[in-house]
Amino acid sequence: MTDLLLELVTAYGLIILAGTVFLAALGVPVPGTVLLVLSGAFAVGGDLDPTLVVLTGLSAAVAGDFTGYFIGFSGGDWLQTKLGHSLLGKQVNKAEAFMAKWGGVGVFLSRWLVAPIGPTLNYVAGISAFNWKRFVLWDVLGEVVWVGLYVGIGMLFSASALALVDLIASASWMLLGGIGMFIMGKRLLIAARKIKA
Q: Is the separation of the CB atoms in 38 and 6 below 8 Å?
A: yes
Q: What is the pLDDT of residues 91-102, one digit of tens each?
A: 677 777 888 888
193 belongs to a structural domain: no
- Nearest Cα to 141, choosing from 108, 165, 167, 172? 108
Which residues does 18 contact at the CB level (< 8 Å), separation at least 6? 56, 57, 59, 60
171 belongs to a structural domain: no
> Could you give the percent of the chain with pLDDT greater than 70?
78
Which residues does 38 contact at the CB level (< 8 Å), separation at least 6? 5, 6, 9, 154, 161, 165
- Expressed as residue numbers, the domain containing 68 is 2-161
Predicted local distance difference test score (pLDDT) of residue 121 = 87
Per-residue pLDDT band for 75 (boundaries 50, 70, 90) equals: confident
Prediction pTM value: 0.73
Predicted local distance difference test score (pLDDT) of residue 188 = 75
Query: How many structural domains are present in the chain?
Result: 1
84 belongs to a structural domain: yes
188 belongs to a structural domain: no
